[in-house]
Amino acid sequence: MTGNSDRSDAGSSARNLVVTPAAGYFGAHVSGVRLGSPLAPTTLDALRTALDQHRVLFFRRQFLSHTEQTAFAGQLGPLAPAHPWQEPVAQHPFVHRLVTGRQQSVSGEEEHRARWRSPDYLSGWHADITAAVDPPSYGILRAEKVPSRGGDTTWADTVTAYEQLSEPLRRFLDGLTAEHRYLVGYVPFGVTDHALRTATAAGLVTHHPVVRVLPGEERRALFVNPAFTSHINELSPPESRRILDLVFTHMTRPEFTVRHRWEAGDVAVWDNRATVHIAPEDHEHLGEVRAMYRVFVAGSPATGPGGRTSTAVCGARYQVVPQAAS
């Protein structure tokens, strides 16, 4: 938090904040705040409380610049690099550009292969950068250009999913760890062979607890995802495959999800420790560009119920850039 209340946006006091649940278990729309201005301490506290409670927050019509998005994220905590190996937006080292649609130059053959690499609906669900020992704690995504239809993002609530497993299964999962690496279950549409080689060369591999204890509270979240989790370390390969399939199918059940229909200017903030998300590839055929920008708040290694923490098998910590929010 920048902390200087006389620079805060007077129109964004905590009293004006309206938080409206967006789905049955989690996710909320927030109005009455302008994220592009420094937030008063009480407003920031209210947003943190809402984020803890709802795990994903949606803000309409914010129209942030790169600088404003970075400054807002910096009020939630120190920032993480924009991406482990991809270049950030020029002059904005914490902003990652995500553009899909026909402006990419992907050959027909690559497009065909990319589709084959994404063989099912489950494979695209992920939390961000869990191949790293210290994945981001929060993601902040803003929509600049959206297709006329399609391109929604869906999040799933891995806290509720954990809590709705049977008690014996929860206890079983509590004691396990799993390996996370790039390119296990999913390669986004349009990713080229060169990008695949780069991702593999980045060599981030981590063992995380399968169940993560969330900081500051008793609640626990499933901390595996189809895109990054290759196997459970303590099980045989066929046991691991079946248990992971069971967990993935369970945690992405429709009742544990919230779906956001993007409009230009929207901002979404999610807890990357307590949710997974997916962007359906349903707009590529429209010939319309979807341009999004993401900033990460730095995270830390996960802690499991028995106190076991994430360990890096290969690669350095992700949040390698010590910095203050700009």
Q: Which residues bind Fe ion (CB under 5 A)?
A: 128
Residues 6+ apart with CB under 8 A from 162: 170, 173, 211, 220, 221, 222, 251
What residue type is assigned to position 25 of the chain? Answer: Y
Q: Which is nearer to Fe ion, 128 or 134 (CB)?
A: 128
Supply the residues annotated as catalytic: 126, 128, 277, 294
- Are 36 and 68 within 8 A, CB to CB? yes
167: helix, strand or coil: helix
Nearest residue to Fe ion, scored by beta-carbon proximity:
128
Q: Which is nearer to Fe ion, 43 or 153 (CB)?
A: 153
Closest CA relative to residue 211, chosen from 144, 256, 163, 278: 163
CA distance 64 to 39: 14
Find the shortest distance in angstroms from Cβ 280 to Fe ion.
13
- Are 256 and 161 within 8 A, CB to CB? yes
Q: Which is nearer to Fe ion, 34 or 277 (CB)?
A: 277
Q: Which is nearer to Fe ion, 44 or 292 (CB)?
A: 292
How would you class 289 by CB atoms within 10 Å of its CB: exposed for 0-12, middle for 13-18, buried for 19 or more? middle
List phi, psi (to 5°) of 127: -100, 155
DSSP 80: P
Q: Which is nearer to Fe ion, 72 or 186 (CB)?
A: 186
